[in-house]
Structure 1
Amino acid sequence: MIVIVDYGMGNLRSVQKGFEKVGFDARVTDDPAVVAQADKLVLPGVGAFRDCMDQLQRGGFVEPILRHVESGRPFLGICLGLQLLFTESEEFGHHKGLDIIPGRVVRFPGDIHNQGQVLKVPHMGWNQIDIRRTSPIFTGLKSGESVYFVHSYYVVPEDESVVAATADYGRTFCAAIWRDNVMATQFHPEKSQRVGLKILKNFGDL
């Protein structure tokens, strides 16, 4: 059973439809008991880090998520669902995350440049990824594939060995992580057409 956590912040239906397109049933739930029973767990997210953490805590999702990760069952974080895995974020102050992956979440500076042009923040649209490690969700994909991003913040892991892919936006940043059963992307697979559907299928096949 693939379970998508519904804590009130995320484009859940598009993620669910993505899995359905590649042949997998995925259940959207706001019930922590269902989250605890998931074979594979997906944590999407859009919005502010602090608000999302508050929603996870109020909804009773933190403990089931931590237990799922500790059990070794597959976990996929998407966009803010990647950032929430980290120790803390500097978005609107300093806020604690799930602390599954040591590191922090930082903002793109407002004066980043590329070939003399000032880049807009948020980083929004298609960008290529450089696959550094072949995470299970990247099976059959190669560096140079384009995926869809929408974000103003990015993760900085303490241990760079967890970085599975990077992208460039005025600087090189972490676009995906992989550690054991935990996989997560800063980009949106559900919006990334062929490449994104391949990622969702790879996760479903685990």
Structure 2
Amino acid sequence: MTTATPQKKVVVFDYGFGNVRSAERALARVGADVEITRDYDRAMNADGLLVPGVGAFSACMDGLRQARGEWIIDRRLSGGRPVMGICVGMQILFARGIEHGVETEGLDEWPGTVGPLKAPVVPHMGWNTVEAPAGSELFAGVDDDARFYFVHSYAVREWELEVTNPAMRAPQVTWATHGEPFVAAVENGALWATQFHPEKSGDAGAQLLTNWIETL
């Protein structure tokens, strides 16, 4: 496992719905200068912004809006400044979430719907492998059979974004399977996200965070 270059400033966005301390420890482990805050200016000016998420889609969106998180994410991405979402922090980047029949608008950075995972056992809790695309920066240096830690009952089962302009690079989508295939990670320019928890995924997760830090 490599260590990221020190001095990269990363803000873990604290909007009340994420394992911020676990994320802080994992990022510090790979050499980042980490701060937990919801301060607008600090979040805007950091080299990287990490958005965790735990709980219901609708509650996370409410918390994010109360902390002006949707503005921060949108403005950072408009300027090409890196953002990474984890677990529900990834799910809220899609257009909508449906839980218990209730539809909630997401940030709509990507089209698509977060819905109930159809599997014999739900939640999907524990270790699982993923299928990353060739040339993935996020999974660089990670063994093909590496396992990552998931805890979720909802997922994106269909990738809906179509890139028709040949001059534009299509997002790289990583898949996993639990009962059915679902989106496990996305790399899309300055916006990266994982459904699993890299901060709880041992050395493989640490390598992913290192890879992200090295792009900042």
Task: Return the TM-score normalized by structure 2.
Answer: 0.87
Distance in 2 of aligned mates of 1:25 and 1:50: 31
Shift of 1:163: 4.7
Shift of 1:134: 3.4
Distance in 2 of aligned mates of 1:188 and 1:134: 21
- Which of 178, 196, 199 does residue 208 from structure 2 map onto? 199
Distance in 1 of aligned mates of 2:145 and 2:161: 24
- Where is the helix percentage greater, Structure 1 or Structure 2? 1
2:5 alignment partner in structure 1 = none
Distance in 2 of aligned mates of 1:189 and 1:11: 12
8 Å contact kept, 2:138–2:212 = yes
Identity %: 41
State the SS of the aligned residue for 2:77.
helix
Shift of 1:142: 3.7
State the SS of the aligned residue for 1:90.
strand
Instruction: Give the alignment's Cα RMSD to 1 decimal.
Output: 1.4
Match runs of 1:36-185 below 5 Å: 36-92=44-100, 93-109=102-118, 112=119, 119-155=120-156, 156-159=158-161, 162-185=171-194
> Which consecutive segments of 4 or more residues in structure 1 shift more than 6 A?
none
- Which of 29, 36, 40 does residue 21 from structure 1 map onto? 29
Distance in 2 of aligned mates of 1:33 and 1:162: 29
1:187 alignment partner in structure 2 = 196
State the SS of the aligned residue for 2:207.
helix
8 Å contact kept, 2:136–2:172 = no
Q: Unpaired segments of 5 or more residues in structure 1?
A: 113-118
Query: Aligned residue pairs: how many?
Result: 198
- Mark the CA change 1:143 to 1:82 in structure 2 (over 3 Å): closer, same or farther: same
Shift of 1:144: 2.2
Task: Return the TM-score normalized by structure 1.
Answer: 0.91
Partner letter of residue 23 of structure 2? V
